[in-house]
């Protein structure tokens, strides 16, 4: 999910986009979703375009978010995965892309220990739209957060320019943003 502030390329707009993106990450982490997804959410900032992108790093995150149909292996093979991803010795490569194959000794040990799921088909898997589910709460908070950041920035700029004599807080319409999904 990407958050871009319209017509902005300064540091303030980048800070606002970063705050919004981190709010989204916090909201997603509060959901009952995969702990691997929660551990591997990243915010990518582009200070040229004032864009903040929230990325779920595991290669399978898109399938988890959107759901998928039945998976059947080719050529009479079986599907194998670890019941608990933390027990997988192929880490960390399995987070970002499918990992290496297990060695025969690793496979035997994991099979004998009951750490593996071995099957001829998997799925279908229901969607877990963690970004979509977080949007309503994020949107309900954006105006107040943006207004607070605008007020703080205006007072900071006024102090930098040594402008005096304003006794009440500055009020402005909320910042507008575009979400690219």
Question: Is the pLDDT at 2 greater than 70, yes or no?
Answer: no
Distance CA(5)–CA(176), nearest Å, equals 7
Question: What stretches of the chain show up as alpha helix (H) in DSSP?
Answer: 11-29, 35-39, 61-66, 93-96, 104-112, 130-160
Question: Is the pLDDT at 25 greater than 80, yes or no?
Answer: yes
Question: Is the pLDDT at 7 greater than 50, yes or no?
Answer: no
Distance CA(137)–CA(84), nearest Å, equals 30
Distance CA(3)–CA(54), nearest Å, equals 8
Per-residue pLDDT tens digits for 112-171:
999 999 999 988 989 999 999 999 999 999 999 989 998 888 888 777 776 665 555 555
**Residue 94 confidence (pLDDT):** 47
């Amino acid at each position: 999910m990407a958050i871009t502030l319209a017509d902005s390329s300064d540091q303030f707009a980048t800070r606002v986009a970063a705050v919004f993106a981190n709010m989204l990450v916090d909201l997603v982490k509060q959901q009952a979703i995969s702990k691997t997804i929660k551990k591997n959410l990243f915010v990518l900032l582009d200070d040229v375009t004032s864009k903040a992108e929230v990325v779920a790093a595991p290669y399978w995150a898109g399938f988890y978010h959107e759901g998928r149909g039945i998976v059947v292996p080719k050529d009479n093979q079986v599907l194998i995965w670890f019941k608990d991803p933390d027990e997988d010795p192929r880490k960390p490569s399995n987070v970002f892309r499918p990992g290496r194959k297990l060695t025969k000794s690793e496979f035997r040990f994991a099979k004998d220990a009951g750490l593996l799921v071995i099957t001829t088909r998997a799925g279908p898997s229901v969607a877990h739209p963690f970004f979509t589910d977080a949007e309503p709460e994020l949107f309900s908070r954006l105006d107040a957060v943006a207004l607070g950041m605008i007020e703080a920035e205006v007072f900071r700029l006024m102090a930098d320019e040594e402008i005096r004599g304003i006794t009440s807080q500055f009020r402005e319409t909320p910042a507008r943003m575009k979400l690219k999904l």
